[in-house]
Structure 1
Amino acid sequence: MITIDGGSGHWLESLFRLAVVILELSGTATILTGAALATATFLRQACRGLYAEAYRPFRSTLGRSILLGLEFLVAGDIVKSLVINPTLNDLVVLAGLVFVRTFLSISLGVEINGHWPWENTRMERARLDAATDR
């Protein structure tokens, strides 16, 4: 039975544990679904002889699904590490996941877009300057 009147608070901990499981399942499902869709699209195009044209979109789609899945996994680890059971080991795992996610985000962004993420502002400014000079 759920009690809010100064009970032991087990229902709240159970709610957070459920949230962690949902976030972790969502992250895993996102990665697996994205990988399956990217692979299916790649194979369909490769069978038509469009291997070279299919490769970059495959890597881009796969990379984006990995990044989105990692977002869910990091969110689950944040809830677990900070709310449920904040141990030093959990915080180290969380820091590692955040580092990996940041590194992947930057490297995949460079690979997909062809430039560093912080170059967006400079490139946009140059594009606007070129448009106003016309």
Structure 2
Amino acid sequence: MQHPWGQAALANLVDLLVTLVEAAGAVVIFLGASVAFVQFVGAAIRGRHTVDFVPIRLGLGRFLTLGLEFQLAGDILRTAVAPTLREIAELAAIATIRTALNYFLNKEIQEARAELSGVADLTAPGRAAP
């Protein structure tokens, strides 16, 4: 059954939505990189770049993860209108790669949080450094 708007109009709407969602992902990644850069420069000027590096990486990792989610959403939208088998296969490959990237980013974020927690525990009052 044909969609009442027509296939071409629906495809144009989905193309617009894909562009908006992918642009949102790009903006999130750009903002995250910009914030991390400013924080890193500030830490370097204060001479604390080694101490402040982990929280900066954590923040950037969160932005990257969110940006990748937007990009994946755009890829899913792209295949929403009459996908071919090739488009489905490409989506599967892209989704696998982006999911793997997100997995490893999240794993690194968790490890960095644990590292930060360990540093906080060592510097807490009443704690002796090993």
TM-superposed deviation, 1:19:
0.6
Cα distance in structure 1, aligned partners of 2:43 and 2:49: 7
Q: Match for 1:96 among 93, 118, 130?
A: 93
Which SS does the other structure have where 1:84 is aligned? coil
TM-superposed deviation, 1:98:
1.9
Amino acid at match of 2:95: V
Please identify, of 49-58 and 98-107, the stretch whose mean Cα deviation from structure 2 is larger. Answer: 98-107
Structure 2, unmatched stretches of 5+, are 113-130
Q: TM-score, normalised by structure 2?
A: 0.72
Structure 1, unmatched stretches of 5+, are 116-134
Overall identity of the aligned pairs, in %? 35
Q: TM-score, normalised by structure 1?
A: 0.71
Cα distance in structure 1, aligned partners of 2:20 and 2:87: 18
Partner of 1:15: 13
Cα distance in structure 2, aligned partners of 1:39 and 1:87: 41
Partner of 2:69: 71
Cα distance in structure 1, aligned partners of 2:46 and 2:5: 64
If asked which structure has higher relative contact order (CA below 8 Å, sep 6+), I would say: 2
Cα distance in structure 2, aligned partners of 1:43 and 1:78: 37
Stretches of 4+ aligned residues off by more than 4 angstroms: none
